[in-house]
Amino acid sequence: MTHPEHRREEFLVTTDPARLDLDFIHGYLTRSYWSEGISREIVERGIANSLCFGVYEGDKQIGFARVITDYATFAYLADVFIIESHRGKGLSKFLMESIINDARLQGLRRWVLGTRDAHRLYSKYGFTPLAKPDRFMEVHNPDVYKHSQ
């Protein structure tokens, strides 16, 4: 199977799972506000069941995102990040363009995501607040990673 690659200067975005640096991804996610304390096993399981996008400078991974999808109607965008040392270079936009334009994700009826502070970035790719939030429900367990250790 071939995995799409997108290049911009010295940077690469690809969905090749063999290139993912699980130590790097877990190290970032376990410190993030949205998955603080997440175990490596849970990160690995999430990656195995998602379409993942790695961002690289040479052989070094510097960013990540994953899409949880049925490839037909729905996609949930999660775990999007670029490491601090590489922010301000347009890499989050490069990553988002690679995700939104991926051939496997075209024609979906709905995309969703959650963010605390990146609304401006995501709005550039068509994301808006829920049109009918009264139709959405959730089960939210913010301390689940603290109990799964």
Q: How does pLDDT run across 9-60, given as a tens digit for each residue? A: 999 999 999 999 999 999 999 999 999 999 999 999 999 999 999 999 999 9
Average pLDDT of span 79-99: 97
pTM of the model: 0.93
So what's the pLDDT on residue 88?
Answer: 94
CATH 3.40.50.410 fits 5-147, yes or no: no
Phi, psi of 142 (to 5 degrees): -65, -15
Q: Is 65 exposed, middle or buried (0-12, 13-18, 19+ CB in 10 A)?
A: buried
For 123, the enclosing helix (H) or strand (E) is helix 119-123
Quick: pLDDT tens for 90-101.
999 999 999 999
Mean local confidence (pLDDT), 115-135? 94
Average pLDDT for the chain: 94
Q: Quick one: pLDDT at residue 149?
A: 53
pLDDT, average across residues 101-106 = 96
The C-alpha angle 24, 93, 66, rounded to 5 degrees, equals: 45
Mean pLDDT, to the nearest integer, of 104-110? 97
Q: Which amino acid is at 149?
A: Q
Could you read off the pLDDT of 47-70 as tens digits, one per residue? 999 999 999 999 999 999 999 999
Residue 145 in this model has a pLDDT that exceeds 90: no
Q: Judging by DSSP bridges, how do beta strands 11-14 and 51-57 pair with one another?
A: antiparallel
Q: Six-digit token pair at 68? A: 């949880």
Look at the block and give the residue holding tokens 């959405």: 136
What residues does each domain of the chain span? Answer: 5-147
Answer yes or no: is pLDDT of 133 > 60: yes
Q: In 10 A of CB 95, how many CB atoms?
A: 23
